Chains A and B, each alone.
Chain A
Amino acid sequence: MLPQDYIYPEFTVVRNQDKCIACRVCERQCANQVHSFDTEKGIMVADDSKCVCCARCVSLCPVHALQITESQHTFRPNANWSGQAINEIYKQSSTSAALLSSMGNPNDYPVYWDHILINASQVTNPSIDPLREPMETKTSLGKRTSSITRNPDGSIQTTMAPHIELSTPVMFSAMSYGAISYNAHESLARAATNLGICYNTGEGGLHKDFFKYGPNTIVQVASGRFGVHKDFLEAGCAIEIKMGQGAKPGIGGHLPGAKITADVSATRMIPQGTDAISPAPHHDIYSIEDLRQLVYSLKEATAYTKPVIVKIAAVHNVAAIASGVARGGADIIAIDGFRGGTGAAPTRIRDNVGIPIELALAAVDQRLREEGIRNQVSIVCGGSIRSSADMVKAICLGADAVYLGTAALLALGCHLCRTCQTGKCNWGIATQRPDLVKRLNPEIGHVRLENLVTAWTREMKEMMGGMGINSIEAMRGNRLMLRGVGLNDRELTILGIKHAGE
């Protein structure tokens, strides 16, 4: 190793030796082998350089003797060359590798949710108390008819295109078995079933044990076509075609061979230990017409009983793309913003490609309305919905429902250390190592997910009541309920909202 390859540890493990009882829980729980027991001194010691700040040791230390802090080491301060930029150059000049990262874009781009405020009724339009009056949070996703059609006998035709019914406008977004563990999938599947919402298989197929959760499962068909077969397509309540992912628009996925265990291999239908590489494009889709073919192939394969979702990343011209997707026959469009999570993505792409979901969502909803095709599709928005307030704002901007990925993982214990790509998730989520996977007990996991969604639904009802709205239908696309703060005219125009005070 050359001297310039040395990178000072990012984090410092601070141990209060007065408190530490040397129970070695930290040592046993750290897959990165940070902690060890110094038998000579009789104390616990730590190797800071291995720490990824996942806080597993901090959370389990019975005497609260541990904390992880940001390292105090600094390069000579430079507003242009940050310490991170310098370290990345050192890393790349020693390895020649593209940098890898996980989870959503952590950089300091504007978060528009935080510049949008919600309205509440006063005097003339009374607010509603959700504890005393009915509040409808049920949502249904799919094509809606433009006009009433009648049967020859004059009665109204009631057959509708297939829909997904959700008890609350929330779904768990696509996270594949392989990227996340069996226990994480079981937690999501059970929570979705108990809540009456949906979870999404991601592109890794559906484990044989989880077919029973089918009515609450969205099955995904991505460019790698992993685990796609007749029974898989028929198992879910909807089929999602993944065209793009917010964290890495324009590129496919790469699940390293080490994560393709026997079970993952059987589920994905690929040999054990081989890398699972999803191509950047679908090799059979080079136009809206091609997409339409796949949409209708999938509908044909499932006898037109299930809605087809097309998931796209929020990129430039997203409104035009969404219009094409709607015309391509999709029942639901899922838009994934640039802060959406991932199990692994090239750092440069994650941090620099794509656009904020707030702008993309507003633009898509506006465009589809202008073209008169908004009722042909439902819109699902994902990519860092952090709270029920974000969810309410998203629905007011035009979403029919939201996708939760990162928030769901946080509920399961994720501490956003953003090192999923190493496969050594200490919380048993983004790993296939049996000793780590068992750390996530789905008995606990599913309850935590249900608690989260229940809490958000409660909060959403309170906010809806405040606005004097008692159904999702009345809130959807209701941009009059939103005002911007600290946004310029252009931003307000794209968001389609007025500035606070107007």
Chain B
Amino acid sequence: MKRVYVNEEWCLACHLCEYNCAFANSGMKDMVKALKGKKIYPRIQVEVGTDENSRAISYAVSCRHCEEPLCVKSCITGALHLEDGVICSDKEKCVGCYTCILSCPYGCIMPSEEGNVIQKCELCTKNENGQPACVAGCPNRAIVFEDRGVPSAEEECAFDEEGGAE
């Protein structure tokens, strides 16, 4: 399955992905109308180092669409579910208990703009874009949409232990 992958080496911390995400999920046709004067709630977020030594390091974080997602397991209402491998959230079923937010090891689920339900990256399958907007708008190809197969257990662990994925 194609997933969104981020290469830290090429991330410029321009934060364009966040704006493209917010626009894609706004349901509007005009970016200015959709985002002007508003606080954005993107489903992809750029993490930037906070001190002198790490300031040059940045990468975007969004749902990794795990093979065995803890968020789906933890969902008490069945709002989080898999659709062809894409982890999707059903707003009608979500009760805003935020258990999924607590259980996601990557911190990729967040409360939605309305505040009473969660939101997460659905690879733009639920909006008009069809293809991930963050990928299309990345000026340095730091975010890519590729089929790299199923990550092995070791690869998943390596991310945690070494503090960075390949």
Contacts and interface: CB of A to CB of B under 8 A. Distances in A.
Contacts of B36: 19-21
A29 B16 CA distance: 11
Contacts of B141: 441, 443-444
Contacts of A435: 12, 56
Given A441-B141, A443-B141, A444-B141, A24 B15 contact: yes
Interface string B75-117: 0000000000000000000000000000000000000000000
B56 A62 contact: no
Contact of B19 (A23, A59, A439, A444): A23
B1 interface: no
Given A23-B16, A25-B15, A25-B16, A441 B31 contact: no
Given A21-B19, A23-B15, A25-B15, A439 B140 contact: yes
A148 B37 CA distance: 79
B32 A19 contact: yes
A20 B10 CA distance: 26
A60 B32 contact: no
Contact of B10 (A19, A23, A65, A438): A438
Contact of A62 (B9, B20, B37, B142): B20
A62 B16 contact: yes
A18 B12 CA distance: 26
Contacts of A438: 9-12, 140
B27 interface: no
B165 interface: no
B35 interface: yes
A434 interface: yes
A434 B56 contact: yes
A63 B31 contact: yes
A28 interface: yes
A18 B20 CA distance: 19
B140 A62 contact: no
Interface in A8-29: 18-21, 23-25, 28-29
B119 to A, nearest CB: 19
Contacts of B15: 23-25, 28
Contacts of B69: none
Contact of A21 (B11, B14, B32, B139): B32
Interface residues of B, number: 22
A435 B13 CA distance: 10
B19 A441 contact: no
Nearest to B7: A441
A23 B36 CA distance: 9
B140 A23 contact: no
Interface string B1-41: 00000000111111110011001000000011001110000
Interface string A46-73: 0000000000000110110100000000
Contacts of A443: 10, 141
A23 B35 contact: yes
Contacts of A25: 14-16, 19
B56 A60 contact: no
Interface string A418-451: 0000000000000000110011010110000000
Interface in B116-166: 137, 139-142
A28 B14 contact: yes
Contacts of A62: 16, 19-20, 23, 31, 137
Contact of B32 (A18, A434, A444): A18
A444 B139 CA distance: 10
B49 to A, nearest CB: 11
Contacts of A441: 10, 140-142
Nearest to A20: B36
A60 to B, nearest CB: 6
Interface string A207-241: 00000000000000000000000000000000000
Contacts of B12: 28-29, 435, 438-439
Contacts of B140: 438-439, 441, 444
Contacts of A444: 140-141
B16 A60 contact: yes
Contacts of A29: 12, 14
Contact of B31 (A18, A21, A24, A28): A21
Contact of A63 (B11, B32, B142): B32
A188 B153 CA distance: 38
Nearest to A24: B15
Contacts of A63: 31-32
A434 B11 CA distance: 12
Nearest to A59: B139
A41 to B, nearest CB: 12
Nearest to A28: B14
Interface in A27-51: 28-29
Contacts of A28: 12-15
Nearest to B34: A21
Nearest to B48: A28
B73 to A, nearest CB: 36
Nearest to B140: A441
A445 B10 CA distance: 12
Given A20-B36, A441-B10, 18 more contacts: A19-B36, A21-B37, A23-B35, A24-B15, A25-B15, A25-B16, A25-B19, A60-B14, A60-B16, A62-B20, A62-B31, A435-B12, A435-B56, A438-B9, A438-B11, A438-B140, A441-B141, A441-B142
Closest 3 CB pairs of A and B: A21-B35, A441-B10, A23-B19
Interface of B: 9-16, 19-20, 23, 31-32, 35-37, 56, 137, 139-142
29 contacts: A18-B32, A19-B32, A20-B36, A21-B31, A21-B35, A23-B16, A24-B15, A25-B15, A25-B16, A28-B12, A28-B13, A28-B15, A29-B12, A60-B14, A60-B139, A62-B16, A62-B19, A62-B20, A62-B23, A62-B31, A62-B137, A63-B31, A434-B56, A438-B11, A438-B140, A441-B140, A441-B141, A443-B141, A444-B140
